[in-house]
Amino acid sequence: MDSALSDPHNGSAEAGGAANGTARPPSTPEGIALAYGSLLLMALLPIFFGALRSVRCARGKNASDMPETITSRDAARFPIIASCTLLGLYLFFKIFSQEYINLLLSMYFFVLGILALSHTISPFMNKFFPANFPNRQYQLLFTQGSGENKEGGRGSPAPGSGLTRPLCPEIINYEFDAKDLVCLGLSSIVGVWYLLRKHWIANNLFGLAFSLNGVELLHLNNVSTGCILLGGLFIYDVFWVFGTNVMVTVAKSFEAPIKLVFPQDLLEKGLEADNFAMLGLGDIVIPGIFIALLLRFDISLKKNTHTYFYTSFAAYIFGLGLTIFIMHIFKHAQPALLYLVPACIGFPVLVALAKGEVTEMFSYEESNPKDPAAVTEGSKEGTEASASKGLEKKEK
């Protein structure tokens, strides 16, 4: 996971050098300000809209939009898994040809990027479809089991009996419609553009889609889990940026939309500019899922205010702004979570202390909609209700 804010305009080694090996001319103050401001704005958009969509996602019953809940155990293991992944990528780039690795990664993120961008633009595109658009429904379903475990197979209940068939473990259950297919086609155009040109705008479209989907679909089950996750990644980020050159090396070698970039020489070279400042998606998604959790906590208080959401959102702006300022002063890539984590946790906790709601904040808990126990219990209740309705019909 790339989680460093990098300023590659300082020297040819950082910037990658010109094609003939000469150093790049220094960026203008206007170009630097435009790049930093654009990165900040691009970071805020997926957090804000992803948090709003996470509320609808938590309330929704569509299996294709079911959130993935992060528990405290997941949060504790995540920095270790991220470290192993980062080190593995670093060794791969040192041992094998960077060209072939990036070719494989490009194909992988080409597919993921199209799906993520399609899911992102679907709610916006629905407003442009005419009312008479033939919007057919589809479902992609893969289940485990055969024979009596399949609908209509041996042992299935008779139609109209009011009983349901035995549960089959679902591997994939994705519901979509014709409008989603149109969005998929439009996203494929961006995907081909990225695959052929690796243009920074196409990279950012995919990066924004990944970030928004992450904030929307990754849910922390409580504030304590969020503190564990952010605290662990705080250490992870500081170590891999300040302790080694691993993260910065991977970020610069990894030709995939895992970072947002913006050229500092845009004013001089236009859309063909190539002197980029970059922000890792980890610096957006990780604080973003914590901010989204606080929005859902705000709603659970039923006070018609979003105090903790706006506080944490302002804290994110402050933390990222401080990161950019420190990086500009010291001319060195900064671990953004070093500044974001204390701000995003500290500001809301101080507000909770002032309002006397610390206990409510840390006792707030979200259930996992994918929990087998919850699914089994819900299915059992549904089966019993259907059975009772079937018996009542027979009695009548």
Give the residue numbers annotated as catalytic, written as ranges.
237, 283
Return the structure tokens found at 219: 């849910």
Which strands, in side-by-side order, build the sheet including 276-280?
259-263, 276-280, 4-6, 334-335
**Which tokens hold the place of 2?**
């790339």
Instruction: Fill in the amino acid letter for 237.
Output: D
Written as one letter, the residue type at 245 is N
Question: Residue 48: which residues within 8 A CB-CB, separation 6 or more?
Answer: 313
Task: List CB contacts of 278: < 8 A, sequence separation 6 or more.
Answer: 5, 6, 8, 39, 251, 259, 260, 261, 262
The DSSP result for 4-35, as a single string, is: EEE-TTSSHHHHT--TTSPPPPPPPHHHHHHH
Q: What sign does the dihedral 283-286-289-291 (CA atoms) show?
A: negative
d(C-alpha 288, C-alpha 293), whole Å: 9
In this structure, the number of other CB atoms found within 10 A of the CB of residue 303 comes to: 10
